[in-house]
Amino acid sequence: MNFLRQISSNWLRGAIPDGHSQGDSAGGGASQLDDRILVSRAQSGDYSAFDELVTRHRGKVYAMIVNMVKNDADAWDLAQDSFIKAWNALPKFENRSRFSTWMFRISHNVVYDWMRKRKIQADGELDDQLLSRDQIDTNASTAPRAVARPDQALENQELQGEIEAALAQLSDEHREAILLREVQGMEYKEIADIQGCSLGTVMSRLFYARKKLQNLLER
């Protein structure tokens, strides 16, 4: 339990200002190690190795979650919960796929479990603000967002609105696929692992999503 508190403390100490890279680990020996080596060490009980994995991947995990829940505080809580679940499940991780793909899958499940609980608490009424991915911010930062300058907000508002409106017309599966590919930069195989579908299905979803978005944005 002390280590779980240490993970949370790591998140608080490592809050990243806007504009920093998503792989926000510090320089030094541990940051140069391959994820697989860090995973193996963490599975052997090396807390510092897992702490380095948290530091290395927290930015992208946070960005994915805040894109889905649209609330900084909830996103931080869910990101911490994701890493705690990852630590508990680490002995079962076979280290064949990339740690980042496995981590995204855990985060995906944590967020959807949280959404389902929120839906149940609302007596079965769907919370459109929470669950609809037409609200996804394709420019989400990797840490709690600083307040944008007024001129920047005005400049981006129209384009952002057009993108959100176009994304709203895609199915959940197509939206998620295009965001994982174009925003998170994930490989097709990684998207298939996260969505629990075949590689061919991912390719089909991306083809359809790109074609429809192109048509919608050219109108």
Q: Give pLDDT tens digits for 128-151.
A: 444 444 344 434 444 444 445 555
Same domain, 119 and 184: no
Q: In whole angstroms, how large is the CA radius of gyration of the chain? A: 18
- For residue 144, what are its two tokens? 């709690």
Last residue of a domain, one of 87, 116, 146: 146
- CATH code, domain with 44: 1.10.1740.10
Asked if pLDDT for residue 6 goes beyond 50, the answer is yes
Q: Give pLDDT tens digits for 22-79.
A: 444 434 444 457 999 999 999 998 988 998 999 899 888 888 887 777 788 898 889 9
Same domain, 51 and 85: yes
Same domain, 187 and 101: no
One-character DSSP codes across 100-147: HHHHHHHHHHHHHHHHHHHHHHTTT---HHHH-GGG--TT--SSSPPP
Last residue of a domain, one of 116, 146, 176: 146
Closest CA to 90 of 3, 190, 204, 195: 3
Q: Give pLDDT tens digits for 97-106.
A: 889 899 998 9
Q: Residue 175: which domain range? A: 150-219
User: Is this structure's pTM higher than 0.85?
Assistant: no
pLDDT given at position 23: 46
Structurally, the chain folds into a number of domains equal to 2
Tell me the average pLDDT of the chain.
74
Same domain, 173 and 95: no
pLDDT given at position 96: 81
Rounded to whole angstroms, the Cα distance separating 15 from 76 reads 10
Last residue of a domain, one of 146, 172, 187: 146
pLDDT given at position 85: 92
